[in-house]
Amino acid sequence: MREIPLLSSRIFVGPGSLAAPGALGATGAFLLTDRNCLPYARRVESGLKAAGTPVHRIVLPAGEAQKSLATAGRIHREMANAGLDRKSAIFAVGGGVITDLGGFVASTYMRGIAVRLFPTTLLGQVDAAIGGKTGVNLPQGKNLVGTFHQPEAVFCDPAVLKTLPPREYVSGLGEVVKYGMIRDAELFEYIGRNIEGIRSRDPEVLDEIVYRCVAIKADVVTKDEKESGERAILNYGHTIGHALEAAGAYKVLQHGEAVSIGMEAEAILSMELGIAPLELLAAQNKLLKLCGLPTRVKKMPEKKVLAALKLDKKNVSGKTRFVLPEAIGKVRWGIEVPPDLITAALRTITA
């Protein structure tokens, strides 16, 4: 098991990390999970009980619909009814929805209590659970309500990825490719060289990929925790990707699929602006397809996508700002793009 420090967090990557000691000075534990991840949550629960920590558990239905203010309020009330105090901690076991929601509730209950995250999806392990961003969705857009709240610890066990449904597993690869594009050309090449190991979910290959992605994000977040500068590079593919998710009411595309299509669109924008060469777009497109990720989506209402773009958190004075690639492993951020180019790119990816 390898450890990566990130500000006040400690991130553990490797086999057995899901069953790593969880307690820990907490007067009580609130275990948050969903129905799909209940078997893994029971492992964490057993460790807590063995350590003598009282455990209160809530099991939510799976899915993005749970990532809401209504669900957060329900959890707040259940925690209060259970008598959990400021020295209690939340233990969130699940994918990005659960870790985002768990972090948000922890940051707002009694003005902030400790949280430990146990991501069980590839998306969660390489991105959603790392960096201290929490959030819930509004009907108008994704993650429009949220906080920065660093978890005490994050435990990433790549072995649990074996049981992910194929579509969910492949979706997580969208974020993996993103890391290669924004910061690590060697990781980009590693993905291509090890595509068979990725498809077969080889434990050693996955362990290396998760570790390298976490290390990149930890380095970026350590330098810019509150996204006042360089942390913006982590949003590559997300500006258009989040808009696509919202336009589809979070039912058409999974997050990593939307990021993949978003990267395609944003690479097109970069090429049209003369920042990136055509070869970059071709290389990215080839790797995304090798991973089984989409680069197009049909029947996505253009007006809804454009409306969602206007609500993007990175907008300045009503103008959408983008992260655009200039080479494999290198991007620029805060780039304003003419509206006609955005519309043209959207028409290309939705054709």
In tens, the pLDDT along 207-253 reads: 999 999 999 999 999 999 988 899 999 999 999 999 999 899 888 99
Share of the chain above pLDDT 70, in %: 97
Q: In this model, does residue 300 exceed pLDDT 80?
A: yes
pLDDT of residue 323: 97
- pLDDT tier at 21, thresholds 50, 70, 90: low
- pLDDT tier at 140, thresholds 50, 70, 90: confident
Which of 100, 94, 98 shows the shortest CA–CA distance to 39? 94
Q: What is the mean pLDDT of residues 31-40?
A: 96
- pLDDT tier at 313, thresholds 50, 70, 90: low
- pLDDT tier at 316, thresholds 50, 70, 90: low
Q: Based on C-alpha coordinates, what's the Rg of the chain?
A: 19
Query: How far is it, in rounded angstroms, from Cα 275 to Cα 32?
Result: 44
Query: How far is it, in rounded angstroms, from Cα 255 to Cα 45?
Result: 28
The full DSSP string for 110-129 is GG--EEEEEE-SHHIIIIIT
Which of 145, 152, 144 shows the shortest CA–CA distance to 113? 152
Tell me the domain boundaries of the chain: 2-163, 166-349
Q: Give the CA-trace dihedral at 31, 203, 213, 183, to 10 degrees.
A: -170
Domain 2-163 class in CATH: alpha beta
Residues annotated as catalytic (active site), given as ranges: 111, 133, 175, 217, 227, 231, 235, 238, 242, 255
Assigned fold of 166-349: Dehydroquinate synthase-like, alpha domain (1.20.1090)
Q: In this model, does residue 24 exceed pLDDT 70?
A: no
Q: What is the pTM of this model?
A: 0.90
pLDDT of residue 320: 86
Strands 9-13 and 153-156: parallel
Query: 3-state class of 225 per DSSP?
Result: coil
In tens, the pLDDT along 191-211 reads: 999 999 999 999 999 999 999
In tens, the pLDDT along 87-126 reads: 999 999 999 999 999 999 999 999 999 999 999 999 999 9
Q: What is the mean pLDDT of residues 39-66?
A: 91
pLDDT of residue 227: 83
